[in-house]
Structure 1
Amino acid sequence: MTLRVERDKADGVAVVTLDRERRHNAIDLATASDLSALWRELRHDDEIRAVVLTGSGEAAFCTGIDRDVTVPQPSSPYSVDDPLQAIGPKAGDLWKPVVAAVNGMACGGAFYLLGESEFLIASRTATFFDPHTSYGMVSAYEAVYMAQRMPFGEAARMSLMGTAERLSAQRACEIGLVSELAEPGELLEAALRAARTLASFPTEAVQGTVRALWSAKQAALHQALTQAPTLIALGNLPPEQQTALFTSRRATPKPRVR
């Protein structure tokens, strides 16, 4: 299994851990399928009232889609098959609160998960970046999710600057992407503390509030995401050119952290 799920039914909290540490918790097709199924399963588990989402190890929360994944695409520029489109809790119709505990790198496809979490708690060593443009790819879904969670200029800078720089946890907290910072060894407990509090409240009130919060932005989010497949199909370089850029950039200077 590529996911580790621990359910504390006494506290009403599930800890969901992306468990591919050797791959920096990158998401392959099996992980994508497991995530989609898990959110729908948790909808029906009344003993779980809040969720903590994190990654194994300290190096990375998630680095997006695994580079070894190959997804055949339709020939039409108006259609794109995105294997990560259904990995988020809201895509799985889960309206129980999800607290993301961000340990290490969070980049690219990780934003599908962070974009559909209620709030983020990050290790002080965490960093955020979006590598798409560096590899000749359009950041569409990821940029839309982050534009809803960050000031526009910050979302634009992160989406456009690719691998050249990373957003520090401190800066992410200053701009409101992250709601709390924790020392690396204390991250999970900080997230559990928040999740246990949420799970202790009347569940109908909590889930109703989650739905109310999301209703404030779902119409705009849906409208923006409908443009993503066309933008990706028209703007992405062919896969072999993306691979060449990915390989060549491994030797580039260490990115600036701001």
Structure 2
Amino acid sequence: MDIDRNHLATLEYTQRDGVAWVTLNRPERHNAINLTMIEELHELWLALRHDDEVRVIVVTGAGDRAFCTGLDRGVEIAQPTSPYMPEDPMPKIGPKYSDLWKPVIVAVNGMACGAAFYLLGECEFVIAADHATFFDPHTTYGMVSGFESMHLLQRMPLGEVARLTLLGSSERIGAERAYEIGMVSQVVPAAELRQTAQWAAEVIAQQPPHAVEGTVRAVWAARDMTRAQALSVAPHLTALGSLPWAEQNRRFAARGTEYRTR
């Protein structure tokens, strides 16, 4: 895809040592999503599929007040008169929608609500600053939480999703509660958020890329298919992405002993 990553209107893009940082860059609007951001994210995901220098992507928001507060309410989307053909460009912001199977880490640095769950729902895992909050105001505004609730159900128990979506803007989930129910994998002080996400991304970027991408595909296949269907795909993913046996043994012999305990 032909996209100039150095001149994006709504995103900030940096890349180093196999890790790309994508920052939602509309802090004056709490990084709310407009039509330009939708197109820039979609085109960026398509471009990164073909960029072998990028092995891992970290997504965060500019500033420390909000990761993303959903669709910018100033956006007007023309709708057809038929209810059977609704026009919803929002799914395009998800990396899996664009068939991107490189790992995506989301670093939540404040409020995350509404359409932010398209991104949280299609990433590999979420790291949150301790002041992060999560809520879904759709029902408060008379809207159905359709895509958002479905994305949330992939990470949270049904009762928690029902409470979050039905209470709308009247209740927010704090970072620690989000960790307890599985929405996020780690909570860190705000000052350590970027460093923590960078460490995880750099570790993953050092692994053989085909093995990493095959593992990502396996994880999502297990979620999207029945158990039997997913297991039938596993041999093919393993054969496609694994290094030759001799190289595996070489890497095993050279393994280090340093690790973190979370």
- Normalising by the residue count of structure 2, what TM-score does the alignment of the two structures yield? 0.82
Does 2:140 align with 1:130? no
AA matched with 1:176: G
AA matched with 1:151: P
Q: What's 1:200 paired with?
A: 206
Does 2:15 align with 1:7? yes
AA matched with 1:5: Y
Q: What's 1:172 paired with?
A: 178
AA matched with 1:6: T
Report Cα offsets for 1:64-110 as digits up to 9, x if no partner: 11000000111222221112111111111110000000010000000
Partner Cα distance (1:85, 1:203) in 2: 26
Q: What's 2:223 paired with?
A: 217
AA matched with 1:155: V
Q: What's 2:114 paired with?
A: 108
- 1:71 counterpart SS class: coil
Q: What's 1:63 paired with?
A: 69
1:217 CA drift (Å):
2.2
Partner Cα distance (2:86, 2:156) in 1: 26
Does 2:56 align with 1:50? yes
Report Cα offsets for 1:42-64 as digits up to 9, x if no partner: 11110110010000000000001
AA matched with 1:51: I
- 2:159 counterpart SS class: helix
Does 2:160 align with 1:154? yes
Identity of aligned residues (%): 57
Partner Cα distance (1:99, 1:61) in 2: 13
Partner Cα distance (1:115, 1:16) in 2: 16
Partner Cα distance (2:224, 2:32) in 1: 27
Partner Cα distance (2:174, 2:39) in 1: 30
In terms of mean alpha carbon deviation, does 50-59 or 83-92 score higher?
A: 83-92
Runs of 4+ in 1 over 3 A off after TM superposition: none
AA matched with 2:171: E
Partner Cα distance (2:85, 2:164) in 1: 26
Q: What's 2:194 paired with?
A: 188
Q: What's 1:228 paired with?
A: none
1:218 CA drift (Å):
2.7
Partner Cα distance (2:175, 2:114) in 1: 16
Partner Cα distance (1:153, 1:201) in 2: 37
Partner Cα distance (1:178, 1:61) in 2: 14
1:163 CA drift (Å):
0.3
Partner Cα distance (1:75, 1:92) in 2: 28
- Normalising by the residue count of structure 1, what TM-score does the alignment of the two structures yield? 0.83
AA matched with 2:184: V
Partner Cα distance (1:72, 1:107) in 2: 23
Partner Cα distance (2:43, 2:224) in 1: 22
- 1:86 counterpart SS class: helix
1:177 CA drift (Å):
0.7
- 2:21 counterpart SS class: strand
- 1:68 counterpart SS class: coil
1:166 CA drift (Å):
0.1
1:219 CA drift (Å):
4.9
The higher radius of gyration belongs to: 2
Point out where structure 1 has 5 or more consecutive residues left out of the alignment.
221-258
Point out where structure 2 has 5 or more consecutive residues left out of the alignment.
1-8, 227-262
- 1:217 counterpart SS class: helix
Partner Cα distance (1:169, 1:120) in 2: 11
Does 2:92 align with 1:86? yes
- 1:142 counterpart SS class: helix
Q: Is the 8 A contact 1:36 1:92 kept in 2?
A: yes
- 1:85 counterpart SS class: helix
Q: What's 1:121 paired with?
A: 127
